[in-house]
C-alpha cells in the first residue's frame, strides 16, 4: 500500500516545529546543522552557477533550486561506502551531501579537464564518481533505473546489505525503463530505493498531462513495492522515509518508491523559459514552502543554531562558492587530443578516423594474442585435442564452462531457464547453476540489457540473451546511450564488461521479425564491439574472449548455422579467438571474398566450385568481428589478389559491405584490377515468410559463384 505522510499546513508549521522531531529519527545537532549548511551551500552554489550562465561564462546549466530539501534529506540516509547512488541531472544538493566539493561541481560547469564526473565530456550535472559510489549518468531520462535494479541484484546475490538508490523526476515515470526497472525489482525483492523528486513538470508538461493518477507512489503496489508520499520540501520528512526504505531494503524486505513532492523555482535549464507554461504567482506560492527557510526555522525554534554560528556558516558558504568559482574557472580545458581517448576500456585497434598519433594504443595483451592466434585446423595438426560439435552444442558447452569457471558469470533473458532457450542454447544450465545464475526475465529487452549493465557495474559478468536479434531494437537506448558510452562519458571511471548474445539471420522461414540482420546498425556505435562467429570453434573462442573483455560485446550467431554447421572444437578451456581478428577460411590468389556468418560457408562452397571448374582460386576472408574491423587482413588479401567481392545477408545499402568497399577503395585502390563489388540482399525487409518469396531473396553459393565469376572476368 501507499503510505501518505501528510504535509503540515502553514498554520500548523510553527506548532509542530516546537516539538523535537529529530531525536526520534536518530539525528543530533550536528546532523541538523549539517543539513542546513548543505542546503544553503547548494542554494548559493546554484545561484552562482545560474549567474555565470547569464554572464556568458557558463554555456549551459541546470538548476536544482527548490529540490534541496528532498535531496539532502534523502542523501543523509545513504550509507557512505556501502550504498550505490544513481542520480539525475538536477541532483546538485545530493552530490554535495555525498562528498563532491563545490570546486569539483564548478569544474563540471566550466567543462574542465579535472571535472571528476566526465572530464568535460558531458554537460554539467551529469554526475558520476566511483570514489563516492555514484554511478555515471546520462541525459536520457529513466535509463539509469534498470541499472539500479541490476546493481541491486548484484548486491543481493553477493549477500551484502548494500542498497542501490535511484533518483529521478516524475517525467521519467512515463518511460518504459521506469516500468521495467520497478517490475524487475519487485519480482526479485531487490534492495533498491526509487526516489521520485516530483516537481510537477516534465519541462513544460504538467503532471495532469503526464500521468492518469495524481501521485506517482500510487503505482508502487502494482510493482510489489512499498510506496511513500512525503513533503519534499521538508528534509526531515524525506530523511525519515528514505532511511526507513534503506533499512527495509538492507534487511531483505524489498524495494520502495518514495515520492517527494517538491518544486523547481527556476526554468528547466538555462535554455528554457518557464514563463511560457507557469505563472509567477504559482512559483511564489511554492517559494513560501522553501526547504532552506523551513530548515532554518526548525533550527531556530529548537534553539540549535546560535546567531554567531549561523553567521559563520553563511560566511563559510560564501567563501566556498567564491573559491570554487575562481579555482575552477582557472583550470585547464581538456587537451584536444584527449577527445579520441577512452572510447574502449580495452582498445583492440587504432581508432578509425583519428588523426595520426591520436587515440589510445591497442592493448598490448590483445596485440600479443592476435600475433599468437592459430586456426583450429593448425591447432589440431599440432596435436591439440578437438571434438566435433555443431554450433548450438558449442554455445551450450561454452556457456556451461563459463558459468562453472567463474561465479561472477550470469545468464539472463527470456526463456533461458527451464525451457533452455528457444534454440536450446541454455538447456540444462538452470538445473546445474540455479536461478540466480541463469535468470528468466520478463519479455522486456530494454530491461534485459539495462539490468545486465547494472550487474556489470556491480562486479558481475552478465551474458544477456536476446531471443531473436529482431527484438533487440527495444534495447537500443540501453545499448547505444548507456553501455557503449559509459566508459567514454565517465572519462574512464567506469566500464561495462557485458555480453549480449542474439541469434540473427534468415533462411529459417522466420519472416520479417525473426530474420533480421542487425550487425551494421550496432557496428556503427563507438564503444560497442560486435562479433559474428560462424563455426563451432569460433563461437567458443569468441564467447570466452567476450566474457572476459571489459567492454560491452555483442555476439551475433546466425541461427541457420546452429544445427547445420558442424566442426572441430578444441577441448582445452585455453582456446581463444581474439576479438578483431579475421580468418582466412580459404586461401586463394585471384580474388578475395570478404564475408561473415552463414555466408562464410557458402562462400567457401562457391570458391571450391570455381576452383574445380578451373575458373580461378578465390580467397575467402571470414571477418568474424565486424567492429573493430580487421583492416589489415582484408587489405593484405586484396593487395595480393587484386579483386574484392563483399558478401552479406544484410541489405545492401549502408551495410558492412559499404564499409569494406570504402576501406579497400581508400587504402588499396592502386592494387585493384577491378572495381570492388557487393553481393547483398536488396533493400527489402528481411525476409518474407512464403517459401517462394524468401527463396527469391536469399543469397546462396551459386549466387556467390556467379558474382565472383563476373569479377574474375574483368
pLDDT in tens, 201-230: 999 999 999 999 999 999 999 999 999 999
What does the alpha-carbon distance between residue 268 and residue 258 come to, in Å, rounded to a whole number? 22
Q: What are the CA-CA distances from residue 374 to residues 211, 384, 622 (Å)?
A: 59, 11, 14
pLDDT at site 67: 98
- pLDDT bracket for residue 2 (50, 70, 90): low
The alpha carbon of 436 is separated from its chain's Cα centroid by a whole number of angstroms, namely 21
- 4-8, 104-108, 426-430: least confidently modelled range: 4-8
- In 140-213, the DSSP E strands lie at 164-169, 192-198, 201-202, 205-206
- pLDDT bracket for residue 13 (50, 70, 90): very low
pLDDT at site 4: 62
Answer whether residue 193 shows pLDDT above 60: yes
pLDDT at site 19: 87
What does the alpha-carbon distance between residue 514 and residue 560 come to, in Å, rounded to a whole number? 12
Instruction: Specify the length of the chain in residues.
Output: 714
Q: Is 514 a catalytic site residue?
A: yes
Answer whether residue 198 shows pLDDT above 80: yes
Q: Which of 126, 487, 514, 601 is catalytic?
A: 514
What does the alpha-carbon distance between residue 239 and residue 65 come to, in Å, rounded to a whole number? 18
Number of H helices, E strands in the chain: 26, 22
- 5-19, 117-131, 584-598: least confidently modelled range: 5-19
472-506, pLDDT tens digit by residue? 999 999 999 999 999 999 999 999 999 999 999 99
Answer whether residue 629 shows pLDDT above 60: yes
All structural domains of the chain, each given as residue ranges with its CATH number in brackets, are 2-329 (3.40.50.970), 364-570 (3.40.50.970), 583-713 (3.40.50.920)
Answer whether residue 12 shows pLDDT above 90: no
346-371, pLDDT tens digit by residue? 999 999 999 999 999 999 999 999 99
For residue 280 the three cell numbers come to 509567477
Instruction: State whether residue 354 is helix, strand or coil.
Output: coil
Residues 6+ apart with CB under 8 A from 367: none
How are beta strands 583-586 and 618-622 bridged, if at all? antiparallel
Q: Mean pLDDT over all residues of the chain?
A: 96
Answer whether residue 153 shows pLDDT above 60: yes
- pLDDT bracket for residue 454 (50, 70, 90): very high
pLDDT at site 202: 96
pLDDT at site 14: 47
Whole-prediction pTM: 0.96
647-672, pLDDT tens digit by residue? 999 999 999 999 999 999 999 999 99
546-572, pLDDT tens digit by residue? 999 999 999 999 999 999 999 999 999
One DSSP character per residue, 233-253 reads T-HHHHHHHHHHHHHHHHTT-
| Count of C-beta atoms within a 10 Å radius of residue 173 | 25
pLDDT at site 18: 67
What does the alpha-carbon distance between residue 52 and residue 322 come to, in Å, rounded to a whole number? 12
What does the alpha-carbon distance between residue 365 and residue 386 come to, in Å, rounded to a whole number? 26
Percentage of residues in the chain having pLDDT higher than 70: 97
For residue 338 the three cell numbers come to 584527449
- pLDDT bracket for residue 244 (50, 70, 90): very high
What does the alpha-carbon distance between residue 408 and residue 158 come to, in Å, rounded to a whole number? 10
**Which DSSP category does 121 fall into?**
S
Instruction: State whether residue 585 is helix, strand or coil.
Output: strand
Q: Which helix (H) or strand (E) element contains residue 595?
A: strand 591-595
pLDDT at site 514: 96
390-429, pLDDT tens digit by residue? 999 999 999 999 999 999 999 999 999 999 999 999 999 9
Mean pLDDT of 417-442: 98
For residue 245 the three cell numbers come to 526504505
- pLDDT bracket for residue 605 (50, 70, 90): very high
Amino acid at each position: 500500500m501507499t503510505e501518505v505522510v501528510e504535509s503540515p499546513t502553514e498554520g500548523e508549521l510553527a506548532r509542530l516545529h516546537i516539538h523535537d522531531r529529530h531525536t526520534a529519527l536518530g539525528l543530533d545537532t550536528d546532523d541538523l546543522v549539517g543539513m542546513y549548511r548543505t542546503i544553503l551551500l547548494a542554494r548559493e552554489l546554484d545561484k552562482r552557477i545560474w549567474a555565470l550562465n547569464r554572464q556568458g561564462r557558463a554555456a549551459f546549466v541546470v538548476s536544482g533550486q527548490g529540490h534541496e530539501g528532498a535531496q539532502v534529506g534523502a542523501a543523509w540516509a545513504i550509507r557512505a561506502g556501502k550504498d550505490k547512488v544513481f542520480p539525475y541531472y538536477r541532483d546538485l544538493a545530493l552530490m554535495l551531501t555525498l562528498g563532491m566539493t563545490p570546486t569539483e561541481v564548478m569544474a563540471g560547469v566550466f567543462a574542465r579537464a579535472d571535472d571528476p564526473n566526465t572530464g568535460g565530456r558531458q554537460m554539467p550535472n551529469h554526475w558520476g564518481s566511483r570514489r563516492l559510489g555514484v554511478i555515471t549518468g546520462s541525459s536520457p531520462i529513466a535509463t539509469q533505473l534498470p541499472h539500479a535494479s541490476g546493481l541491486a541484484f548484484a548486491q543481493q546475490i553477493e549477500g551484502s546489505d548494500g542498497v542501490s538508490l535511484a533518483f529521478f523526476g516524475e517525467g521519467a515515470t512515463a518511460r518504459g525503463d521506469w516500468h521495467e526497472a520497478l517490475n524487475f525489482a519487485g519480482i526479485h525483492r531487490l534492495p533498491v530505493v526509487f526516489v521520485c523528486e516530483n516537481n510537477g513538470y516534465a519541462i513544460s508538461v504538467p503532471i495532469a498531462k503526464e500521468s492518469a493518477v495524481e501521485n506517482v507512489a500510487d503505482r508502487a503496489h502494482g510493482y510489489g513495492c512499498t510506496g511513500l508520499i512525503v513533503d519534499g520540501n521538508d528534509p526531515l520528512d524525506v530523511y525519515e522515509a528514505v532511511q526507513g526504505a534503506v533499512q527495509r531494503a538492507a534487511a531483505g524486505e524489498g524495494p520502495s518508491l518514495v515520492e517527494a513532492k517538491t518544486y523547481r523555482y527556476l526554468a528547466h535549464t538555462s535554455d528554457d523559459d518557464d514563463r511560457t507554461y507557469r505563472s509567477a504567482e504559482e512559483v511564489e506560492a511554492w517559494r513560501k514552502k522553501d526547504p532552506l527557510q523551513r530548515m532554518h526555522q526548525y533550527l531556530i525554534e529548537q534553539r540549535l543554531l546560535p546567531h554567531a554560528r549561523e553567521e559563520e556558516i553563511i560566511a563559510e558558504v560564501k567563501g566556498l562558492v567564491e573559491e570554487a568559482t575562481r579555482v575552477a574557472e582557472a583550470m585547464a580545458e581538456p587537451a584536444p587530443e584527449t577527445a579520441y581517448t577512452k572510447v574502449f576500456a580495452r582498445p583492440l585497434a587504432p581508432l578509425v578516423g583519428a588523426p595520426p598519433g591520436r587515440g589510445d594504443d591497442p592493448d598490448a595483451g590483445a596485440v600479443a594474442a592476435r600475433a599468437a592466434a592459430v586456426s583450429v585446423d593448425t591447432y589440431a595438426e599440432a596435436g591439440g585435442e578437438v571434438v566435433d560439435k555443431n554450433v548450438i552444442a558449442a554455445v551450450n558447452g561454452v556457456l556451461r564452462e563459463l558459468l562453472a569457471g567463474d561465479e561472477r558469470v550470469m545468464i539472463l533473458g527470456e526463456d533461458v531457464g527451464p525451457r533452455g532457450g528457444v534454440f536450446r542454447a541454455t538447456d540444462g544450465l538452470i538445473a546445474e547453476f540455479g536461478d540466480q545464475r541463469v535468470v528468466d526475465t520478463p519479455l522486456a529487452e530494454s530491461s534485459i540489457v539495462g539490468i545486465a549493465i547494472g550487474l556489470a557495474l556491480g562486479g558481475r559478468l552478465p551474458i544477456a540473451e536476446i531471443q531473436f536479434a529482431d527484438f533487440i531494437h527495444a534495447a537500443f537506448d540501453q545499448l547505444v546511450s548507456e553501455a557503449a558510452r559509459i566508459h567514454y562519458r565517465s572519462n574512464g571511471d567506469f566500464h561495462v564488461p557485458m555480453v549480449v548474445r542474439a541469434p540473427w539471420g534468415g533462411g529459417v522461414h522466420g519472416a520479417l521479425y525473426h530474420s533480421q540482420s542487425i550487425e551494421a546498425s550496432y557496428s556503427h556505435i563507438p564503444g560497442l564491439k560486435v562479433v559474428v562467429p560462424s563455426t563451432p570453434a569460433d563461437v567458443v573462442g569468441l564467447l570466452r574472449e567476450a566474457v572476459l573483455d571489459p567492454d560491452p560485446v555483442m555476439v551475433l550467431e546466425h541461427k541457420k548455422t546452429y544445427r547445420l554447421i558442424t566442426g572441430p572444437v578444441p577441448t582445452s578451456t585455453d582456446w581463444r579467438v581474439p576479438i578483431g581478428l579475421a580468418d582466412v577460411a580459404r586461401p586463394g590468389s585471384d580474388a578475395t571474398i570478404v564475408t561473415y556468418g552463414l555466408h562464410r560457408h557458402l562462400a567457401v562452397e562457391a570458391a571450391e566450385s570455381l576452383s574445380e571448374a578451373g575458373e580461378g582460386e578465390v580467397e575467402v576472408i571470414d571477418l568474424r568481428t565486424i567492429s573493430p574491423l580487421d583492416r589489415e587482413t582484408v587489405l593484405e588479401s586484396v593487395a595480393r589478389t587484386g579483386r574484392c567481392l563483399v558478401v552479406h545477408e544484410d541489405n545492401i545499402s549502408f551495410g558492412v559491405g559499404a564499409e569494406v568497399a570504402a576501406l579497400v577503395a581508400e587504402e588499396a585502390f592502386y592494387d585493384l584490377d577491378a572495381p570492388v563489388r557487393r553481393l547483398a540482399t536488396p533493400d527489402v525487409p528481411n525476409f518474407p515468410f512464403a517459401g517462394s518469396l524468401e527463396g527469391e531473396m536469399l543469397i546462396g553459393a551459386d549466387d556467390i559463384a556467379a558474382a565472383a565469376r563476373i569479377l574474375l572476368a574483368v
